[in-house]
Amino acid sequence: MRLRLPVGGLASILVLAACGGVGSDSGADEGSEGQIDGSITTLGFGGEDEIGMARVRAVEEAYADLDVKINSGAFDEQQFLNAVSSGNPPSLIYLPRSELGTYAARGALVPLTECIDQQSIDMGQYLDSAVAQVTYDDEVYGIPEFSSVRLLLANTDALQEAGLPADAVSVADWDQLAQSTRTLTQLGSAGIQRIGFDPKIPEFLPLWTAALGGQLVSEDGLTAQLDSPEAVQALEYTAGLVNDQGGWSEFKAFRDGWDFFGGQNQFVADQVGAFPMEDWYLDVLADVSPDAPVTALPFTDTTGVPLTYATGQAWAIPVGAGNTDAACAFAATMTSTDTWLAAAEASKADREKSGGEYLGTWTANEEADERILDEVYEPSGNAALDDAVQVVRSVQSVAVVDPPSPAAAEVKRAWEDASLRVLQGDQTAQEALTQAQEEAQTAIDEALR
């Protein structure tokens, strides 16, 4: 027999909420109808870089009576839960889209239907995949920002040396890829010298599963499908690739030893043949080794159609926050096409000032993306980088994403752990994913209770 405790009762058992905390002043809360004033606070937005600061300035210019307080630093659950528990949530939170469903499912976020209506936000301007990630149970809970995709980066020198054409590492043909991997891998007595192909397992398991046409979680985020045939096959195949290259322990240790962010990175030092990677790594390469022998290729499914896996952030409004009108206006302005354009200009100017290259900004706002590429971006003359930018552009619209799930973190942990068990040789892919499936589905069911 369960005793239902009203949450209010629980709060009064602990303490009574008082003033202070992260929320806005109780004074100038709602403002008059239609007017955007008072103050708002954000949590989870770094905002210290040019792209962030330029956009915040745009908001401040648009709404002179609005006081915006950015609490800088990445989204931290401890910070957020404390603020919420004391009855003083921030006006807006900024968090990875994949985590949104967890809070939405527990009723911690305000559905944005009214907000979208009031601010006339055109949800169509955002990427479908991004909007899917912020929609839970048919309600929109977030305004998307940024879309980071994955593409294949190949070491052209290594391929040439092995006498392989660029598409030898294409993901369209898994048998061929396995073959190329074996050719490109160099094992030595002192340890691995070069990894042929790093499939990035566990991280990219969703991508590999999608390449076979499968999904780890159903579209509505409520049914785990970790033991689906596609997932099992994807895990088996990629774990096999790792085993062919020295086994997980050595493989990972070698990879950890790369000067990943530095001038002697794995492309310069010829330590890798190819691997899928997030697009921000192009910025790093442009910065520290612009002449490295890198080619960017789209990841594909097994029929050769380009495919990618996208992640990004979103603005959401916690339940109980004051001044929702202003919060909504803030989010709308931060992600509008014009604001993004201004930010892109600022970012480009900043890069050029420090002698770097501007490689475009991927905003999750399709309209903004196109205009940035047309009006702000200029090819650098470095063929590899310029081509890479075009690849990123081409795959933005074919992204798969993690559906918003009430137990996103636990589901992810389930398949990550399963992958590790397979890589370490403790279980087969089928066994591991069957176990993971049970764990994941239990977690989802628990969260919905």
Partner 1 sequence: MTAGQLAALVSSVVVVLAFVYPFWWLVSASLKPREDVFDNGFWPDPLQPANYVEVWNQLPITTWLFNSLVVGVAAAVAVTVSSALVAFGFAYFDFRGRTVLFWCVLATMMLPGVVTLVPTYLLWDQLGLATTQVPLWASNLFGSAFYVFLLRQFFKSLPRDTLDAARVDGCGYLSMFWRIVVPMSKPALAITFIFEFQASWVDLLRPLVYLQDPELFTLPRGLKAVLDQFGQGGEREWELVLAANVIATVPMVVLFIIGGRYVVQGITISSGDKE
Partner 2 sequence: MSVRRSRVAYAFIAPWAVGFVFLTLGPILATLFLSLTDYDALPGAETSFIGLDNYRQAFSEGTPGTALLNTGFYALLYVPLSVVIGLSMALLLRRAGRATGLLRTVIYLPVVTPPVATGILFLLLLNGQEGLINAVLGWLHLPTPFWTTDPAWIKPGIVIMSLWSVGSVAIILFAALGDVPQTLLDAAQIDGAGPWSRLRHVILPMISPALFFIVITNTIASLQLFSEVYTMYFGAQTTNPPEAALFYVVHVFEEAFTFLHMGYASALSWLLFLVIAVVTAVQLAMSRKLVFYRGDA
Candidates 37, 157, 203, 386: give the one binding partner 2 (CB under 8 A): 203
Decide if 304 contacts 16 (C-beta within 8 A).
Answer: no
Task: Name the region of 336 (left: φ>0; alpha: ψ -120 to 50; beta: rest).
Answer: beta
162 binds, among partner 1, partner 2, none (CB under 5 to 8 A by kind): none
Total number of residues binding partner 2 (CB under 8 A)?
Answer: 49
Using alpha carbons only, what angle is made at residue 433 by residues 429 and 436, rounded to the nearest 5 degrees?
150
* CB nearer partner 1, residue 384 or residue 440: 384
Decide if 27 contacts 12 (C-beta within 8 A).
Answer: no
64 binds, among partner 2, partner 1, none (CB under 5 to 8 A by kind): none
Question: Rounded to an integer, what distance in angstroms lies between the CA atom of residue 250 and that of residue 186?
Answer: 13
Strands 399-400 and 308-309: parallel
Q: Which residues contact 313 (CB under 8 A, 6 or more apart)?
A: 94, 95, 96, 97, 144, 145, 146
What is the nearest approach in angstroms of partner 2 to the Cβ of residue 192? Answer: 7
Per CB under 8 A, 113 contacts partner 2: no
Q: Which residues contact 267 (CB under 8 A, 6 or more apart)?
A: 153, 155, 285, 289, 292, 293, 294
Decide if 154 contacts 297 (C-beta within 8 A).
Answer: yes
What is the nearest approach in angstroms of partner 1 to the Cβ of residue 226? Answer: 26
Residues 385-414 that bind partner 2 (CB under 8 A): 407, 409-410, 413
Each residue 348-387 as x (binds partner 2 by CB under 8 A) or -, in order, gives: ----------------------------------------
* Segment contacting partner 2 by CB under 8 A, of 8-16, 49-57, 129-137, 304-312: 8-16
Q: Which residues contact 138 (CB under 8 A, 6 or more apart)?
A: none
* CB nearer partner 1, residue 282 or residue 436: 282
- Nearest to residue 410, comparing CAs of 112, 188, 109, 98? 98
What is the biggest distance separating any 2 CA atoms in the chain, rounded to whole angstroms?
74
* Segment contacting partner 2 by CB under 8 A, of 158-166, 299-307, 389-397, 419-427: 419-427
Residues 234-253 that bind partner 2 (CB under 8 A): 248-250, 252-253
What is the nearest approach in angstroms of partner 2 to the Cβ of residue 201? Answer: 9
- Locus of tokens 């579209």: 219
22 binds, among partner 2, partner 1, none (CB under 5 to 8 A by kind): partner 1
Per CB under 8 A, 202 contacts partner 2: yes
Positions touching partner 2 (CB under 8 A) are 2-7, 10-11, 13-14, 74, 77-78, 81, 84-85, 87, 102-103, 106-108, 191-192, 202-203, 248-250, 252-254, 256-257, 319-320, 407, 409-410, 413, 416-417, 419-421, 424, 443, 447, 449
